[in-house]
Amino acid sequence: MKTSLHLLFIFLALTSGKLFAQNDLAMVSPKEVVSTGSFSTGLPVFEFKVYTNESDLNNISNDMIEQHVFGELVSRKLYLLDSKYTYTVPIVPGNPQMRTIVRKPVIYDAVMKIERYLKKSVKKGTISIETASADFNKVLDVANSICTADTKSFEKEISSSDDAVSLVNLLTKRVNLVL
């Protein structure tokens, strides 16, 4: 009887931990609240596994990053994004010129488009710098987490998005990162 109660308690503890796992993401900033509900318009929600990049972020020194409008954390995440999504290859063997190749260019270009849009919005005063920073942090978390995932349907959805506002909504509200 005691062992069955202990097993039941352990089972309940393990299953309840999964319910709160979405709020314990490694890259969530303190001001950002992660929603576990689906997007209200009935559009598809994408789920990807997240791997903690905290050690990767801590290994990036201040000499390696450039200052960013949205802060040092965004600078570190952008450096990590560039290191994950781009690499260089020689154009011709023996030639010192290099060509930059982008992995998953649809996702990488979407992140760069969102960055330009958020910077312009902050400059115009239509959005606060704190909101823009939180949104861009979430976008970078998603992009850094899905670099090695199968994202064909997600890339189709990005390609069908016509403006930066819909891209921000897609990457911040319609993507769930699961531990």
**Which pLDDT does position 36 carry in this prediction?**
42
**Among candidate residues 109, 101, 72, the one with its CA nearest the CA of residue 64:** 72
Tokens of 65: 């990053």
Query: For the residues of 71-132, what is the DSSP string, one character each?
Result: -HHHHHHHHHHHHHHEEEEESSTT---EEEEESSHHHHHHHHHHHHHHHHHHHHTSS-HHHH
Is the separation of the CB atoms in 98 and 90 below 8 Å?
A: yes
What percent of the chain is predicted at pLDDT more than 70?
77
What are the residue boundaries of the structural domains of the chain, listed by start? 22-178
Residue 17, C-beta contacts closer than 8 angstroms, at least 6 positions apart: none
Q: What global pTM score does this model have?
A: 0.72
**Which pLDDT does position 44 carry in this prediction?**
80
Q: What is the mean pLDDT of the chain?
A: 80
Count the alpha carbons within 13 Å of 96 in the hemisphere toward its beta carbon: 0
DSSP strands (E only) in 8-94: 46-49, 86-90
Structure-token match 């952008």, residue found: 78
Distances 65 to 28, 72, 79, 133, 141 between C-alpha atoms, Å: 20, 8, 6, 17, 17
Q: pLDDT class for 152, splitting at 50, 70, 90?
A: very high
**Which pLDDT does position 7 carry in this prediction?**
62
Using only the alpha carbons of the chain, give its radius of gyration: 19
**Which pLDDT does position 41 carry in this prediction?**
55
- Report which of residues 20 and 47 the model is more confident about: 47
